[in-house]
Structure 1
Amino acid sequence: MTHEAKRTTQTHFDTFNLSKLTDKKHPKVTVIGGGTGLPILLSGLKAAKCRTTAVVTVADDGGSSGSLRTSLNTIPPGDIRNCLVALSDAKQIYKDIFQYRFAPEDNEFSGHAIGNLIIAALAEMRGDVYHALKLLQVMMEIDGHVLPACASPLVLQAHYDDGSIVEGETTIVSQKRPIDHVTVRHVNDGPLADEKPVAGPHVVEAIMSADLVILGPGSLYTSILPNVVIDDVRQALVDTPAKVVYICNIMTQLGETEHFSDADHLAVVNKHIGQKVIDYALINATTVPFEYIESEETPEYLVQVTHDRDGLRQQQATIIKSDLLNLKKSGVYHDQTKLVEEILKIYQQSIER
């Protein structure tokens, strides 16, 4: 089945009352992405008692994750680590240990998070990352599921209008030029080098059985699309009966989305999927103060994403504009509570129809 085209409208919900969900099952939510925004959303969904699964990119090649990926030929563990902590019911001290990162003067351990080393070690002990995650599910008292988008590390490829191709997430971001589209491949020296990437175990099932599938928040080309362009993930997004929700970034991002409007973000996702599958787009409606745009804390974020009403209408999604802004000293973020509240409103609306 495919999603029916829907007329773009500004949706206004009545004041939402979480108690409305007491007579219904709490939503089964599958979130697809990576980066720093994903754990924030996951912990909020957990607090709202959603049945949550995170599908996490395996194309990260920077920092501790990139180093372990290269030396051990394993999937990068950093985003997985952060998602596990976000869904964990373990005591805070155990979470702190899992997240502890060695100091710069610690030689070969410099920059490595203990959790990254534990995930890599358990994957070696148990034979693969999925058996490692089953054990961590118990050890960390995980309320939900964390699934790598693919069972092996992938290389992100950016394709440009001039026909050139640049590989590797960190290299792509450093190019600072408009990307036409992205693809993924297996690493050249791995046993799957000549095969097309496929979704990891249970990923398609998580998308097909969800009430809501959420894309984002996160970097468009390096956190969200590396998952979407895996063929059976793309097809699952077309076929799923779930409502597909896209969380639009608040700020444009250096090396990825300069000059992008909210409609541009949706258009790029739909282009990579091959159909207009996004049912709802959550968009921040609050102006970001000038001093945050000029902040030296977040030089990779440029200006606030502009609003393009006509462009959004062409993407055939229901547009929800709301105050989603959370301003911190370190930068501009989505407000966790407000974001989850809007997601629960979408679910409530869908079960009442």
Structure 2
Amino acid sequence: MSKSKIVVIGGGTGIPVILKSLRQENIDLSAIVTVADDGGSSGRLRSAIDIAPPGDLRNVLIAMSDMPKFYADILQYRFDSSDGELAGHPLGNLIIAAIGEMQGSTYEAIQTLARFFHVKGNVYPSSDTPLTLHAVFRDGHEVEGESKITDYDDLIHHVYLTETNTGKSPRASKKVVQSIMEADTIVLGPGSLFTSILPNIVIPEIAEALLKTPARIVYVCNIMTQRGETEHFSDADHVRVIHEHLGTRVIDTVLVNSAEVP
């Protein structure tokens, strides 16, 4: 019997938790990770050397690998404030950036590191190029840049992406669409709705694949709302926003927390 194919889509700190558990199962596992982050170390690196931001990809690599804890600690080591230009950079981000420059793309860097660290499954950046996230608010104001979106005091109406260097509509990286079309189950989240999940699925090729895939689509809703993104949202509001961005209903199952949050 062939293994069940599960694809997890998202970014930030949410999906590594899911992936770390799923990699223990006898499944064919893939992760599709956002490349719209422009804050912190990732933002500085994408500005300096024009690469897709490595931070979320680094966390996913570690979550899906059986590497010794010491190796994970090395990749997660963050230079402190006394380290000059290196301050704030996790070593893993610098390694991904270096291999990306050597091999021509963040995608190739991630595949190389996945082999080196014996990652169980596949890790794909959602696009090969750095992307800029745009948020249009209910009052018509538009904010450009993922790290700036939560600073504006209004409800988000919708988000969209452009290629950072060209301003063009983004394209999905290779094998992303194929993995979605061949999946048995697709898991969206958990993670920030407007800045981790939607920046993957509003890429036109990914959106189209989600509409066409025969896979069951599961949305894992956050247990709490987020300031600047989903304040006063119900679980149903999260689902509604995803469907509005895709133009139709695609989610088959929603996982929500029914217990009191400690």
Band the TM-score falls in, shorter-chain normalisation: over 0.9
- How many angstroms apart in 2 are the aligned matches of 1:77 and 1:92? 20
Q: Give RMSD over aligned pairs.
A: 1.1
Q: Does 1:258 align with 2:231?
A: yes
Q: 1:237 aligns with which of 185, 189, 210?
A: 210
Separation in 2 of the partners of 1:156 and 1:273?
Answer: 16
1: CA distance, partners of 2:85 / 2:69: 27
The aligned counterpart of 1:68 is 45
1:41 aligns with 2:18: yes
Unaligned runs of 5+ in 2: none
How many residues are treated as equivalent by the alignment? 262
Helix, strand or coil at the partner of 2:23: helix
For the pair shown, the structure with the greater C-alpha radius of gyration is: 1
Aligned to 1:276: 249
Contact residue 54 and residue 145 of structure 1 kept, 8 A: yes
Distance 1:100 1:110 in 2: 11
Pick aligned residue for 1:106 from 83, 91, 114: 83
Contact persistence 1:176–1:256 (CA under 8 A): no
Q: Which moved more, 1:222-231 or 1:98-107?
A: 98-107
Structure 1: which 5+ runs fail to align? 1-23, 290-353
User: Where does residue 116 of structure 2 map in the other structure?
Assistant: 139
1:237 Cα deviation (Å)? 0.4
How far has the Cα of 1:125 moved from its partner?
0.6
The answer to whether the 8 Å contact 1:102/1:110 transfers is yes
2:239 aligned with 1:288: no
Q: Give, in angstroms, the shift of residue 194 of structure 1.
A: 4.4
8 Å Cα contact 1:35-1:218 kept in structure 2: yes
SS in 1 for 2:196: helix
Counterpart for residue 189 of structure 2: 216
CA offsets 1:302-340 (integer angstroms, 9 cap, x no match): xxxxxxxxxxxxxxxxxxxxxxxxxxxxxxxxxxxxxxx
Q: TM-score, normalised by structure 2?
A: 0.97
Deviation of the 1:134 alpha carbon: 2.2
* Match runs of 1:326-341 below 5 Å: none
Equivalent residue number for residue 345 of structure 1? none
Letter in 2 for 1:248: C
Q: Match for residue 27 of structure 1?
A: 4
Q: Secondary structure at the match of 1:40?
A: helix
**Superposed displacement of residue 141, structure 1:** 1.0
TM-score of the superposed pair, with normalisation by structure 1: 0.73
